[in-house]
Amino acid sequence: MNNLVIMKDQQAVTSSLQVAETFGKEHRAVLKAIDDLKEGLAQKYADLFCEDTYIHPQNKQAYRVVYMNRDGFTLAVLGFNNTQKVLEFKLKYIEAFNQMEKEIQQPKLPTSQRELAMLALSANEETNERVDVIEKEVADLKDNQKIGADDYGYLSRRVHQRVAEVARGFGKITKEQRGKLYKDINSGIKQITGVGTRSQLREKHYPMVIEYINDWEPSTATKTVVRQMSFDLNDIA
């Protein structure tokens, strides 16, 4: 009577074998009572009963057994004659179901040093995972903020400085020629960051843009255009 109800797949259940033994019924009679419910229950049958097999201890053959939850059990024994003994068994089953479901709902507390250590390790891992998620969210938030006024000002100055450095290699150039150089460097910044203007740059872009400006050289096409413009000016002169 101690195993009236067991836990199977995280659910409190009993078996057709246990019901037959407890109520003094033939196992096939209990199975028939369950089978008689199938047609009426239709698709709900699977919510109440679970088909399985067991190995008979004597002949080692596999036989059918049906597991049932509280509601399945209630329906299965509904037709049993309610003698005093049967009523007592039903009450014991109800008590056993209640106790098992209570145990399932309550978290199992660690009872050994190993279980305590495993619980602490699990809690630590969960905390670390949460910290990692929070740190990533904070980093993403920071990276996607627009660059501050100071950083924007510095980037603009570096663009002007780098253009001036490169422009000296062409000798004396016009405002229009200088504009070609600005167009080239700004086009490169747009290309590596994917933004339309420098005012749309994010914090995550800052190191990459600084490195690009420091290493920037005009494209061959831009150099050719700037030199050709100088030749044209000389021809006019």
pLDDT along the chain (237 residues), means of 10: 75 89 90 87 87 92 92 83 72 80 67 70 72 66 77 92 92 91 94 86 90 94 91 66
In this prediction, residue 134 carries a pLDDT of: 62
pLDDT on residue 188: 94
Directed axis angle between helix 16-23 and helix 84-105, to 10°? 140
Backbone φ and ψ for 67, nearest 5 degrees, come out as -95, 145
* Cα 51 to Cα 34: distance, rounded to the nearest angstrom: 11
3-class SS at 54? strand
CA dist., res. 130 & res. 122, Å (int):
12
CA-nearest of 211, 188, 190, 212 to 199 is 190
Return the pLDDT at 109. Answer: 61
What pLDDT sits at residue 237?
52
Which pLDDT belongs to residue 1? Answer: 46
Would you list the DSSP string of 112-169? SHHHHHHHHHHHHHHHHHHHHHHHHHHHHHHHTSBPPHHHHHHHHHHHHHHHHHHHGG
pTM of the model: 0.42
Give pLDDT, residue 23.
Answer: 86
Residue whose C-alpha is closest to residue 92's, from 156, 148, 18:
18
pLDDT of 115: 67
Tokens of 85: 């003994």
Euclidean distance between CA atoms 19 and 3, whole angstroms: 11
User: Residue 63's pLDDT is what?
Assistant: 94
